[in-house]
Amino acid sequence: MAKKKQDTDVRAELYLRAQIVYGAFIVVALCVIARLVWVMLPNTETAYNAERLESRIFFSDTIISRRGSILARDGEPLATSILRYRIDFDMGSEGFDDEDVFRENVDSLSKLLSAFFGDRSAADYRKRMMAEREQHLKWVYSHDSIVKRSSDLLTWIVDNLRDDAYHVIKVDTAVRDHRPVQILPRAVDFNEWQTLSKYPILNGNMGVTFKKEILDQRVYPYGELGRRTLGAITSNLSEADREKARGQYGIEYIHAEDLRGTNGRSLRQRIAPGFSTTVHSDSSLVASDGYDVVTTLDVDIQHAADAALRRQMIDQKAIWGTTMVMEVATGDILAMVNLGETAEGSGIYYEKENYALSRRIEPGSTFKLVSLLALVEDCGLPITQQYQTYEGRRVQVGGARGPMVQDDHNIGGMIDMKTATAQSSNVYFADAIYQNYKNDNQRYLDFLHHLALDRSVGFDEWGEKRPLILDVKNWNAHTLPNMGYGYAIEMPPIRILTLYNAVANGGRMVAPRLVREVKNGDEVVEEYPTRVMVEKICSEATLAAVRECLEETALTGTTKTFFRDTVALRVASKTGTAKVAQDGDGRGVPYTANYYMGSVVAYFPAENPKYTILTSILTNRSRGRNYYGAGLSGPVVRDLVNYIFYRDEEWHEPITPSPSQLVPVEVKGGNIAQVRRVADKFSPRISFTDREGWGVARMDTLLNVDVKTIERDGMMPNVVGMGLKDALYILESRGLSVTFTGRGTVRRQSIAVGQAIKPGQKVKIELK
């Protein structure tokens, strides 16, 4: 009986337990049904959950627009954008939880990355990834957990009351740092990513372990060339940083709206960890790329100007310098170079500041063109008008309270205006301006306004400083005489260039232009036509007189060293030397600090001007060998004149020499065919007779030419007997650094004929 009763109690207990389990299932089922009904009814929680679910399936992706390019006048890119991909690893990802799988994949990926980039060993890549994972994914103790020993339901029902039915385990929780980690050494382009996307981890085999960030990477094909004009932006430009990182100067800044473009938007659906596809949506937006900005810059001339200015500044240990080349008819700036020292005395120069626009300094003798125009046009004086210059002595101009003025060399006593311009006489122009305007200062100021010297040239957004001209009521006894030779007035170099270009342009003053048009593909969106500042600065008679004076400067005056040997190319020029009250950083200093700005302006060909060039260099008298305008800036202008002349032979006008200009030239080492090949470099400055081995040439060209040495670039040519211009062209075309003394024709060269030469090698020639 006891056994039967015991069996009955067990069955009853099992039945009771089964009822309990059955009842539990019924309760759970009712809860599920209630929850489904709740979900189907509209309510806040339902909407929230639906949004969460949708956000896990669909997401909005930004389509980065491509920034427009900055182009040279011939379409050559000066700044352009390339879309690249930056791979940001999530080292705290759940995909990296399995230690063994992670190590296996990292080993393979490290070897592949090392072979692909070649920047470091596979061991270094592996060490970096292991260290980053250890830092971003940490397992820490969280709590203890009671766990049943068996997962069998029946056993659990029977044994749940036993003391050893459960056991305690320690539970660790992952502490994840999802901040992006860049393992790859650089961003990659589309083709490179096609290869990388097949590598372990990067192919998505471990889930969402990285993010591919699209970058608009800015590329400057010519490096720092013209950087102050072009501007600059961060090379890796992410969407979040587009506004903050844009260039704060130059074209990148001024035309930011044109270049930027508009980002697009697309809806994407996740189809697997790390993978998604685009789906159609009315909210999608196509990206619009930025417009291209076409500049007036000529890459070749910009290169030549940068090299010439840099070479001269290093040689003279200068502080900063600028050089510009302007197309006469249009005002187009073909080159604008601005170089400054990285640190005082370093001798290393870069595009530090746009000195052509931002430095407002007393111009010195280049301003004498204004005095020349005023005296001839406004006062009606002929260029034969004479004034006393006192043989270079220091004299007082402007009465008892006037300034003391002195010429830097003995020009003579009574000289005319043409000589005063050529020899850059301070005394002449100070006295002439004072004598003609002392009774009507406002008249002189009005003439300056007529020349638009009180205005900027239109680069205000670029940081151009407006000229500083004092109102007459603020003048003193020194102001008028000092203005006569370039003091008591301040203006940036671009303003002086614009004035000289107006003389070259037949009296029509056009504003400088750096941007010609904005384009969307082949469509012109906006044009920037040539802008006229003054239709006519003076009469034709005045213009002819002024041009004659400027040409005389190149023939017999302060720039004769650079241009007097030129017969086929006539140049008009002017030098300027100003003692300035500003140091290299633009801070005010006394004149006794010995800071000088030396300038040279030239336009050519003088009879039909096509180009105007200005170079201004700031130095301290204690640093370099030269501080006068001719010595500081003359070599730069000369090199650019030569470069452009020999490059642009298509605009050379045919020259028919007079008999007095033709001389027989004996040719050594070759026949007439060889001579003609060499002569192509000087065309059309040479003509020939039919006599074998003889030719006729202009007085300053090929004399005693050794054809063999000129045809071979690797050996020192024979330039003895040549004029300076031809000798310089031949030698510098081989990359030689040339210095010379004397004038006339070459009589001696420091490197023997036929000796091997290399670019950068120095050679000295003597002329007599």
Q: In whole angstroms, what separates CA 331 from the centre of its chain?
A: 20
pLDDT at 537: 97
Residue 501 lies in a domain: yes
Asked whether residue 645 falls in the same domain as residue 660, the answer is no
What average pLDDT does the segment 725-737 reach? Answer: 73
235 pLDDT higher than 60: no
| Number of domains comprising the chain | 3
Across 226-243, average pLDDT: 62
Q: Looking at the structure, do residues 625 and 693 belong to the same domain, yes or no?
A: no
Please report whether residue 282 resides in a domain: no
Q: Of 637, 698, 634, which Cα lies nearest the Cα of 664?
A: 698
Residue 423 in any domain: the answer is yes
Which of the residue ranges 60-74, 467-481, 578-592, 704-718 would you say has the lowest mean pLDDT?
704-718
Q: What is the mean pLDDT of residues 66-79?
A: 91
Identify whether residues 366 and 431 lie together within a single domain.
yes
What is the average per-residue pLDDT within 635-647?
90
99-117 and 122-136 helices, crossing angle to 10°: 140
pLDDT (0 to 100) of residue 3: 52
Q: Is the pLDDT of residue 404 over 90?
A: yes
Question: Can you tell me the mean pLDDT for 405-424?
Answer: 94
Are 547 and 614 found together in one domain?
Answer: yes
Q: Which range (501-510, 530-539, 656-665) has the least confidence? A: 656-665
Tokens of 191: 């083709």
Assess whether 601 and 698 both reside in one domain.
no
The CATH number of the domain holding residue 430 is 3.40.710.10
User: CA 256, CA 245: separation in Å to the nearest integer?
Assistant: 11
Q: What is the mean pLDDT of residues 295-321?
A: 94
Question: Does position 724 have pLDDT exceeding 90, yes or no?
Answer: no
pLDDT at residue 552, rounded to an integer = 94
Provide the domain limits for residue 624: 300-650
Percent of the chain whose pLDDT exceeds 90: 47
Task: Give the mean pLDDT of 376-382.
Answer: 96
> Does the structure show a pLDDT above 70 at 273?
no
Burial of 286 (0-12, 13-18, 19+ CB in 10 A): exposed
Q: Which of 650, 668, 699 is the last residue of a domain?
A: 650
* Stretch 369-374: mean pLDDT: 97
Q: How far apart are CA 653 and CA 726, in angstroms?
A: 18
The whole-number average pLDDT for the span 139-146 is: 70
pLDDT of 318 strictly over 90? yes
Q: 281 versus 375: which is more confidently predicted? A: 375
pLDDT-derived band of residue 262, with 50, 70 and 90 as boundaries?
A: confident
Position 444 in a domain: yes
Q: Which of 159-173, 272-286, 327-341 has the highest mean pLDDT?
A: 327-341
Q: What pLDDT shows up at residue 208?
A: 78
Q: What is the pLDDT of residues 655-702, one digit of tens each?
A: 444 443 333 444 444 444 555 555 554 433 444 443 343 333 333 334
The answer as to whether 592 is a domain residue is yes
Residue 278, H or E segment: strand 275-279
Band (pLDDT 50/70/90 cuts) for residue 444 is very high
Model confidence at 598, in pLDDT bands (50, 70, 90)? very high
Q: What local confidence, expressed as pLDDT, does residue 242 receive?
A: 42
Shared domain check, 525 and 382 = yes
| CA atoms of 10 and 90, how far apart (whole Å) | 58
Q: Residue 8 to residues 1, 3, 13, 723, 761: CA-CA distances in angstroms?
A: 11, 9, 9, 133, 117
Q: Which residue has the tokens 């595009």?
A: 351
Exposed/middle/buried for residue 157 (C-beta within 10 Å: 0-12, 13-18, 19+): middle
In this prediction, residues 215-229 reach a mean pLDDT of 85
Residues 429 and 322 in one domain: yes
- Phi, psi angles (nearest 5°) of residue 92: -100, 10
- For strand 292-295 and strand 70-71, is the pairing parallel, antiparallel, or unpaired? parallel
Domain end position, chosen among 607, 629, 650: 650
Residue 242 belongs to a domain: no
Which range among 524-528, 673-677, 742-746 has the greatest average pLDDT?
524-528
- Nearest CA to 502 among 330, 334, 295, 365? 330
Among 114-123, 215-224, 345-354, 433-442, the range with the most confident prediction by mean pLDDT is 433-442
Boundary (domain end) residue, out of 650, 677, 706: 650
620 touches 594 (CB < 8 A): yes
Q: What DSSP letter does each residue of 470-497 carry, written as one string?
A: --GGG--TTHHHHHHTT-S-BB-HHHHH
Nearest CA-CA partner of 680 in 644, 716, 729: 729
Are residues 547 and 661 both part of a single domain? Answer: no
84 assigned to some structural domain: no
Domain identity same for 478 and 622: yes
**Are both 622 and 711 inside the same structural domain?**
no
Residue 293 pLDDT level (bands cut at 50, 70, 90): very high
Across residues 282-300, what is the average pLDDT? 86
Same domain for 633 and 736? no
pLDDT score at 670: 45
Q: Do the domain assignments include residue 162?
A: no
- pTM beyond 0.85: no
Average pLDDT in the chain: 82
Q: Is the pLDDT of residue 99 over 50?
A: yes
626 and 678 assigned to the same domain: no
CB 483 within 8 A of CB 444: yes
Among 81-85, 235-239, 450-454, 581-585, whose mean pLDDT is lowest?
235-239
